[in-house]
Amino acid sequence: MARKYYFDTSIWLDFFENRDEPDLPKEKYVRKLIEKIVKEDCKIICSEVVKNEMLVLGYSKYEIERLFFPFKKILEIVYSNKKQFGKARDISRKRNVPLFDALHAILARDHKSVMVTLDKHFNKLIDIAEYKKPEELI
């Protein structure tokens, strides 16, 4: 079975917006990871949560579809359900992490994928979903 990766929203934005930092070429790492995923015939899990977060940040639906279109062969689009959302809300309150980070972790777990993130909030969610930085996976 092909390995699956769940990119949180910030990973996608690092790639789409070329959000490099001094001594941290984030876009380059994500690009290399995507190349590896394609080469190894793996999948990237993308949830509606990512797209909703991008809408809130000012991207239009058209822009979002245009950005994700080149990845359609490796993307698996998933949706959260009420139970997952309720569990994420509970975890968010109890562990003091953003709601959508908790939901990303639950979706990554439920879709048997490796969470790809640079967000330190996932340190509080490690029991829910394994996570790695892009550079650790290339």
50-85 pLDDT per residue, tens? 999 999 999 999 999 999 999 999 999 999 999 999
Look up residue 113 and give its two tokens: 């994928």
Tell me the CATH number at 69: 3.40.50.1010
Domain hosting residue 118, numbered range:
4-137
Q: How far is Cα 7 from Cα 118, in angstroms, rounded to an integer? A: 10
> For the chain, what is the domain count?
1
Confidence of residue 43 (pLDDT cuts 50, 70, 90): very high
Confidence of residue 130 (pLDDT cuts 50, 70, 90): confident
The alpha carbons of the chain give a radius of gyration, in whole angstroms, of 14
- The answer, yes or no, to whether residue 1 has pLDDT greater than 60, is no
Q: How far is Cα 39 from Cα 16, in angstroms, rounded to an integer? A: 20
What backbone phi and psi angles, to 5 degrees, belong to 117? -160, 160
